[in-house]
Each structure stands twice: as structure tokens, then as C-alpha cells.
Amino acid sequence: MATATLPVALADATRDDASLRRFLHGLPGVDQVGVEQRAAGLGTRSIKKAAKLWAIDTAISMVDLTTLEGADTHGKVRALCAKARRPDPDRPDTPPVAAVCVYPDLAATAVEALAGTGIAVASVATAFPSGRSSREVKLADVRLAVTSGAAEVDMVIDRGAFLEGRYGQVFEEIQAVKAACGDAHLKVILETGELATYDNVRRASWLALLAGGDFIKTSTGKVSPAATLPVTHVMLQAVRDWYTATGELRGVKPAGGIRTTKDAIRYLVAVHEVAGEQWLTPTLFRFGASSLLNDLLLQRRTQLDGHYSGPDYLAVD
């Protein structure tokens, strides 16, 4: 079970099931009141106008523009990719988004539509969103995404196994998915709304990092609650502490429920205050969103024009 590239203390933690359990349950407990109060405090910070425009552009550049519906079509994905390339056609200085996220069978369509743009194609996998299938099926899902050209894979952990304390099973599955990804980056979805406690969020975050996840992601967007500031705070602490222990930078992606510019700015403030300024880049922080981009674009126009532009000025998903 051990991962050779880890420092000795962390490699020992993954030596076997008992060691992994001992390590995860030996992590410091999360002060629920403290983390919620700090998250609330960060959420009240105000920023100046010039900083707000920077924050809006930064948030746009961090969006994983997402469609994950049973009714998705090739045409819908192509339209989403067009929006990803030029979020506001009347404002060519608007930055493109970081990635477009789709189901594996539509990844090839997105790859074709985004060729040469530098915008990544992300694909969900591993029996998203429930994660309820055999490992063979989950890995086939990953292979479909990767062979279709996806540069990023968003997997879901087996929450049932995690909640029953079968940490070794979850660890080995993440490792197997990471191997199947090849050169593609792996985002590990914890589905924090089903983990019940902040302590479990911390344990799941460390488990995913130990197993090789490049990003830890809050949610599928299909379960409520999805992303919250306190949960994201705990996950940012995990990647910060991982960096301190290993020197490796890993990313965080809150997803689901982030709909307004005000929400996005609160998350950026949390990133800066909890993890640090070097995480304020799309390589280390993303927003999983669909409707958020429209509000960011409207608020960007307001900042530049000095008056509010209604949603009719922009194509709304």
C-alpha cells in the first residue's frame, strides 16, 4: 500500500490498513465553532474596486464550466465550449475559463471544440455521481475519458467504504484511478455533504492526497449541501499542511452551490488567508460551476461600465 515518493513518516502511514487508520484518526480534530466563525469572518471582508475587477477576472479564469445532465448533447457541449473560449464576445479582454467538464462519452466532442485554445477538458468518471459500481467499471470509465482526450479526470470516492472505515479500499481505488489517468490530472471528489463531520472531511482530504490526488474537490453538485466555506477552509488547510510536509503543491476545487460573484470572492479571500497567495491560480484552485460564470460576467461589465447590465446582455446557459 505504501507510496514510494512520500516522506518516510507519510509512507509509513500508508504501509497497511491499520497504519492508515491510525494516521487518519490521529489527525487533529477540527474545531467546528472555530472553523465556522473564521469562515464567516472571511466572508465579510470588503475589497476595493480595482481589486474587485482583478478578483472577477481571476475567478473567471478558475471556472470549470460544467454540464453534467442526462439530457446533455453534442450540440450543448459545443455551445458550452464556445462560451468557454469567449465568455463575453463583446469584451475580448475577458479571460477564458480553465476547463470544460463533461461526461466521458462527450469528452471527445469537447476536445475537438477546444483544440488549440489551452482550455482543458475535464471528465467525470468512476460511476459519477454515486460511485456505486465495480472497480472494473470505474476504471473503464476513466480509460474512456483519457482515450477521448480528457486532460483532467474528476473521480468520486466510495463514500460507503469511507464511512465504514474501509480506508485501505478507498486509498487503493484512488491509486488505481491515478494510474489509469496516465498524464491526466486527477481531482478526487469527496462529496463532503455525505461525510457528516469536519473531521471526516479532513480525513478524506488527507486520504486523497496520500493516494496521489492532484486536487481535492468538495462535491459532485448532485448532493446538498455541496461546497461550503467552512468545508473548503478545512480542505485548504489540508493542502497547505501537505505542502509543508512534502513540498508538493496540490489543488482544491469547491463545486456546487457557488452562484454569485460575492460567493466567488469569499472563496478567493479564504484561499489567500488559509492556504496562501500561491494558490490563487487555476493550476491550484478551481470553481466547479455552471451559473456562476454568468454572474461574474455581469459584474465585470458593471465594474467596467459603471452601471448594471441585465442578464439579457449575455447568453445565459
Among the listed residues 83, 178, 187, 253, the single catalytic one is 253
Lowest mean pLDDT among 91-95, 105-109, 312-316: 312-316
- The CATH code belonging to domain 9-313 is 3.20.20.70
Cell (9 digits) for 146: 483519457
Lowest mean pLDDT among 48-52, 122-126, 165-169, 183-187: 48-52
- Residue 253: active-site member: yes
Which is it for the CA torsion 17, 21, 22, 24, positive or negative? positive
Show Cβ contacts of residue 280 under 8 Å, excluding neighbours closer than 6 positions.
58, 268, 271, 272
Among the listed residues 154, 214, 263, 295, the single catalytic one is 154
- Give the whole-angstrom CA distance, residue 175 versus residue 193: 23
Instruction: Determine the pLDDT at residue 5.
Output: 65
Using pLDDT thresholds of 50, 70 and 90, give the confidence band for residue 160. Answer: very high
Checking if the pLDDT of 2 tops 50, the result is: no
In the DSSP assignment, the letter for residue 283 is: T
Nearest partner of 125 among 151, 100, 159, 102, judged by Cα: 102
Among the listed residues 83, 178, 187, 217, the single catalytic one is 217
Checking if the pLDDT of 306 tops 90, the result is: no
For residue range 236-280, what is the model confidence (pLDDT) as tens digits? Answer: 999 999 999 999 999 999 999 999 999 999 999 999 999 999 999
**Residue 97, amino acid:** V
Checking if the pLDDT of 283 tops 60, the result is: yes
Cell (9 digits) for 40: 464567516
Instruction: Determine the pLDDT at residue 290.
Output: 83
For residue range 4-29, what is the model confidence (pLDDT) as tens digits? Answer: 467 877 989 999 999 999 999 999 99
**Residue 242, amino acid:** W
What is the C-alpha R_g of the chain? 19
Percent of the chain past pLDDT 70, that is, above it, reads: 95
